[in-house]
Structure 1
Amino acid sequence: MKHRISISISEQILLKLKERMRNERIANQSSIVEKAVEKFLE
């Protein structure tokens, strides 16, 4: 039973990490787009 609980906890942590990575990736892409737009406007 203990083993089962630790697995579910690690799964939750992995899901949160995946979500955070996805959010960061979206933020990185938007910043890249902003830089490209700034270069285009120069």
Structure 2
Amino acid sequence: MTAVQQSLAAIRSYWTALERDWQSVAVGAVIVVLTVVFEIQIPW
């Protein structure tokens, strides 16, 4: 369990070290990947 907590702490510190613009890019990329993987239909 300690390894999981250390991994989560490392991910959180890496995330907070990113600039806000890159965080937005990462969130957008995750959304695109999830919509492609799960074939989610987005009504535009």
TM-score normalized by the length of structure 1? 0.49
TM-score normalized by the length of structure 2? 0.46
Greater share of residues in helix: 1
Bigger radius of gyration = 1
Higher RCO structure (Cα 8 Å, ≥6 apart): 2
